[in-house]
Chain A
C-alpha cells in the first residue's frame, strides 16, 4: 500500500515535469520574446538586446529550460506581456476566487449527479422530466446557460446580481480568500450570504454537465451491481433491498464514479474559464481571457500550469481514494 502511494506520487511528479517541458516547448513555438515584456514595445534595439543577455535568453534552449524550471520552483512564472508584472502575482490574487467557484461547482455537480442517479435507479415518476432537463443542460454550452441564467434571474426577475464576486469590495474579510468561509469566520453573515448569491448562478452553470456525466456512471455502476451475483448472495441471506443498495451497490460503484469525478474536474476547469468571463468573476479564468485578448503567452502558460498542477494533484488524490475504496486495485 505504501509502495503504491509512493509510486503514484512519483508518477505525479513525472507528469508535472512533463507539463513544464510541454509549456516551455509551446512558449518556444509561440515566438514570444520575454525580453519584450521587460522593456516594453517602444524600447530601443540595444535595450532589448541588453535585457536579453541579462535574462539569459542568448543561451541554448536546454539551459533556458532549466532557468525556467528553476524559476518555477521559486514561484517565478515570468512576466506578463500585458501588465509587465509577474504572472505569479496576478494569479495569486485571482486564484482564491476561482477556488471558491470551483469548490461550489464541484459540490453542486456531486449533489445534482447523485440526485439524478437515485431518481433514475429508483424509477421515481418525475425522473423522466429531470433527466430531460439535465440532459439538455449537459448538451448546452456553458456560455449559453450562463447568459440565459443572467437574462432570467437578473434581467427579468432581478433576483441575482449581474456579476462579480461580492457587493462588499474585492477583498475578503478573512484569511482564506473564500468569501463565504471568511464571512462566516469573521461573523459577517451578510458578506457570506451575499457571496452565495453571487456564486449560485455561475456554479450551477458550470456544474450541470459534470453532474450528468457523474450521474450516468453512478447509474451504470448501481445497475450492474444490483443484478450482480454478490447482490444475489446478499438477498439470499434476506438482506433488505435498501441495504443491498447501500452496501453492495453504492459501495461497489464508488470507484468508477470517483475516477469520473477526476475526469470531470478537468473539464470543469474549461467551464470555469468561460463562466468567469461572462460574470466578470475576478478569477484565473478572467485572467486567462485578458491574456488571450492581449496574446500574452506567459500569462496563458501561467494559467495552464496552475490549472494543470491542480488537476494532476487532484487526480492523484482520486486514485488514492479509489484504492482505499477497492483494495484489489493495488495489485494492478
Chain B
C-alpha cells in the first residue's frame, strides 16, 4: 500500500508540484503567446478609451506616415487616424473570433453530444447533416451566405458560423463516442447514476479538454479567414474599422504609401500569430495533465 499523507499536506504539495511543473514546462514561446494574447484582448476591450481619435471621423491630413506627431501610425487616404482604426479593428476581429467559436462550440456541442450519447437514428441523421456541411467548401459557402444577407458585420459572422460548427459537432461526437465506449460509463450505468449526471460528470469533463485545445488552436485561423472575408468586401460596409477592409481600401496606395494597407495586415498577423502560439501553449498544458 502506498503511504498516503494527511489530506492537507497531500493537497498543498500536489498543488505545489503542479505549479513547479507548469513553470518547468511553459516555454518562453508559450509565455509570449499567452501574455501577448491577453494583452491584445485587454487593449481591444479598452479601445474606446485608448484610441486618440474617432475611428470614423477625419482626424487630420491625409497620407501622414507612421511616427507623425499625434498620429503614431499615420493617417490614411481619407485622413482617418490609423492607430484609432487599428484599435477598433482589433476589437472587432477578436469579438468576431470569440463569437464564431462560442457559437460553434455551443451548436456543435449540442449536436455532437446528442448524436454521440443517443446513438442510433439520431446519431445517423445528425451526422449526415454535419457531413453535408463539411462536404461543402467552407470559405465559399461563408461568402455566399454573407453575400446573400448583404454585406454587414453580422452577416459575415453568420456566414462563418454556419460553416464552423460542423467541425466541432464532428469532433465532439467522436470524443463522446470514444469516452462513452470506455467501461467507466457502463460502470456508472450499473451504479445507477442517472443519464443527465452521467453525461455531466462522467462524459463531458473528458470531452472539454479536447474541445478547448481545438478551439484555442482555431482562433488564429479564424481571425485570418474573417479578415479575408472583410478584405473582399463581405464585412461591415465602408467606413467601419475592420482590419481586412482597411487593407483592401488602402490597396490603391500600396506603392506610394505602403503603411496604409500594410499596417492592418500586420495587425492581423500579430493577432493570429499570438493566438496560434497561445493555442499551442494551451494544448501542451492540457495534454500534459
Given A30-B147, A139-B224, A307-B137, are A278 and B269 also a contact pair (CB < 8 Å)? Answer: no
User: Chain B contacts of A269 at CB under 8 A?
Assistant: 137, 139-140
- Asked if B16 lies at the interface with its beta carbon under 8 angstroms from chain A, I say no
Q: Is the CB of B266 within 8 A of A274?
A: no
Interface residues in B249-270 by Cβ distance below 8 A to A read 251, 254-255, 258, 261-262, 265-266, 268-269
- Asked if B161 lies at the interface with its beta carbon under 8 angstroms from chain A, I say no
Q: Is the CB of A141 within 8 A of B144?
A: no
Main secondary structure of the interface of B (DSSP, over half): helix
Interface residues in A16-52 by Cβ distance below 8 A to B read 18-19, 22-23, 26-27, 29-30
Given A147-B247, A151-B254, are A289 and B147 also a contact pair (CB < 8 Å)? Answer: no
User: Chain A contacts of B151 at CB under 8 A?
Assistant: 292, 295
Interface residues in B147-163 by Cβ distance below 8 A to A read 147-151
User: Chain A contacts of B273 at CB under 8 A?
Assistant: 136, 139-140
User: Chain B contacts of A209 at CB under 8 A?
Assistant: 224
Interface size class of A (residues with CB under 8 A): 35 or more
- Asked if A273 lies at the interface with its beta carbon under 8 angstroms from chain B, I say yes
Considering the chains assembled together, what is the distance between the CA atoms of A311 and B251 in angstroms? 29
User: Chain B contacts of A151 at CB under 8 A?
Assistant: 254-255, 258, 262
Q: Is the CB of A148 within 8 A of B262?
A: yes
Interface residues in A254-306 by Cβ distance below 8 A to B read 266-267, 269-271, 273-274, 277-278, 288-289, 291-293, 295, 297, 300-301, 303-304
User: Chain B contacts of A277 at CB under 8 A?
Assistant: 231-232, 248
Q: Is the CB of A140 within 8 A of B272?
A: yes
- Complex: chain B residue closest to A154, CB-CB: B255
- Asked if A135 lies at the interface with its beta carbon under 8 angstroms from chain B, I say yes
Question: B144 to nearest A CB, angstroms?
Answer: 4
Q: Is the CB of A141 within 8 A of B150?
A: no
- Complex: chain B residue closest to A266, CB-CB: B137
User: Chain A contacts of B147 at CB under 8 A?
Assistant: 26, 30, 291-292, 295, 297, 300
Known: A14-B132, A30-B148. 9 other contacts (CB 8 A): A23-B144, A135-B276, A147-B247, A147-B251, A147-B254, A151-B255, A266-B137, A270-B225, A311-B136
- B-to-A contact residues, CB < 8 Å: 132, 135-141, 143-145, 147-151, 220, 224-225, 227-228, 231-234, 244, 247-248, 251, 254-255, 258, 261-262, 265-266, 268-269, 272-273, 276
